[in-house]
Structure 1
């Protein structure tokens, strides 16, 4: 006798009912910034610099040369000097890059809600990318969105984070879907937040000129990422195209144009320049113009009041607070300038939190 129910006895479950029986799976989010020493003391700074400067994407020379040169010579000489600067930067909460990152993580988690698990890691030192990914693995997330907190793509920053993430997850037995947000140089929320921070400073003081100062990289890094041989380090960066969409220099100019437009600046009212260069014995050229050289020429042109942005950094750090905010200010004043003002980074401003959450939802 047939013991199976007939179609007249039992209705087939609807797609909605079937879907309701599946437990909701959460999405993992990994926010990553560059890194910071565990303390401003020389041993911790040395450990940080050793890890940072021996990364083959940061210093792209053969490992047989890179490790002895930097671990044996450069880092031991540089660590005590860097430690003094980090002590100037350190606050009661520790490293600004770290606590701003942790604040951003908490606020983005609140904005995204319980359907997401947000983790934060550093490319170098702590909290590590490995520990952040382990949080997401243990949470059994369905997939992971990785957002390196570098607006403009560079192999030495975003590329290094992507490589590290893939190197870690290749050891997992189960590897979920992973999506990288490789750059957000022209992201509307990012641009709007920078402009809002700048506008707040412009309401306090009159400025004759604006400087957009980006972290420099060697020109060869740009050329190595140009398979079409499109790059000329000139007008080729005036627009973003399929050929230069991952050109760091072109993205820096694109960010600057968009922020300038938001602030109503004409091209002659702002300068795009690059900071933090390292000069090698080979005099390997870095992206130009150099910020420290450009600002010295302003007073002779009648520019006495300058507003400075650091749009390559989304959190206050040594390169913003100390280099742009203090060292460049002193250099500008010594050259005859009057007022130099750094626009604070985005940190964990509500508008920036909303922009990050929006990028993650779309990806």
Structure 2
């Protein structure tokens, strides 16, 4: 990181509600679902549906789900993001700040915090291993808005993706091996990625190719055959077709194919959150066991694992 300009790191994740309450969830979902990168429907059509139907119904339900995973220090995603930033700060000895695409701390506050420390060049690390317009590009959009509000725009470098980075793959593999040592090895490893509408991929989003590559490299690193590892997509929303195969539908049929002992992980998530701790670890476990599964092991996200932090250092260098 040899550079005459003072550098600082902006670590970015999606974001989380400030509290596990319906009003806080409603504020967060409103900002998130207003982003055209996330929902690209015509505004005059989408906004009345969002505010008149979706938010009033979903916010209280989602708040209850957040309450089930909320930690003493706050939202899991925020707790782990803060730990990641702290460890990264210690390793790099340069300013490191958090910025969330939605919610707090915002990208704006993250940029301003770095500039207040004399940073002239911002190294932006969105914690999305696989690129998607719905996530990575949304960070870029938010960053340009933040730069418009500061007197002097800093130089910046933007890390677009790291889906095939050797240390990322190794970190994933080590987390799987650790799970095997502690809880035993399942008959099948399922990599569940957050889904996007199929239409987005048809229009050029490279996300599914990145997910496929990550799964392929992880299988090789672990020495698994193609019939011992697979991938699916979770968290679909609305009525249109999303990327397939779907995680929940796959879990319904795996036991009938002779797979009764399953390991499942979420390589697209850099921190455990609602979609991993509640949807994957709890809901998906119920689906699998209801359809004849006998053993279901959720392998946590990389969170603040030392190998994960080492990977971030390598990327930033």
In 2, the alpha carbon distance for the partners of 1:155 and 1:206 equals 35
SS of the residue 1:155 aligns to: coil
Match of 2:133 in 1: 155
Find the counterpart in structure 1 of residue 9 from structure 2: 29
Q: 2:33 matched to 1:53?
A: yes
Corresponding residue pairs, total: 314
1:121 matched to 2:99? The reply is yes
5 Å-filtered alignment, 1:237-316, equals 247-280=206-239, 284-316=240-272
Once residues 73 and 234 of structure 2 are traced to their aligned partners in structure 1, the CA distance between those partners, rounded to angstroms, is 27
Structure 1 counterpart SS, 2:134: helix
Q: Write the distance in 2 (CA, Å) between the matches of 1:168 and 1:322.
A: 32
| Residue 353 of structure 1, CA deviation | 0.7
- Per the normalisation by structure 2, the TM-score is 0.96
TM-score by length of 1: 0.84
Deviating 4+ runs (over 4 angstroms): none
Shift of 1:291: 0.6
Classify the secondary structure of the residue corresponding to 1:313: coil
The structural deviation recorded for 1:171 is 3.2
In the alignment, the residues of structure 2 paired with residue 165 and residue 301 of structure 1 have an alpha-carbon distance, to the nearest angstrom, of 47
Take 2:216 and 2:100, find their aligned partners in 1: how far apart are those partners?
Answer: 30
Instruction: Please provide the CA RMSD for this pair.
Output: 1.3
Q: Deviations over 1:23-52 (max 9, x none)?
A: 964211101111111110111011111111
Q: Which range moved further: 180-189 or 65-74?
A: 65-74
**Structure 2 CA distance, aligned partners of 1:118 and 1:206?**
37
Return 5+ residue gaps in structure 2 as ranges: none
Is 1:207–2:186 an aligned residue pair?
A: yes
Say if 2:130 and 2:268, in contact at 8 Å, map to a contact too: yes
Aligned to 2:286: 330
8 A contact 1:46–1:75 mirrored in 2? yes
CA distance in 1, matches of 2:127, 2:115: 21
Give the distance between the partners of 1:33 and 1:248, measured in 2 at CA: 17
* Preserved CA contact (<8 Å) 2:11 2:98: yes
1:26–1:117: 8 Å Cα contact kept in structure 2?
no
Q: Which runs of 5+ in 1 are unaligned?
A: 1-22, 227-245
* Partner Cα distance (2:166, 2:112) in 1: 32
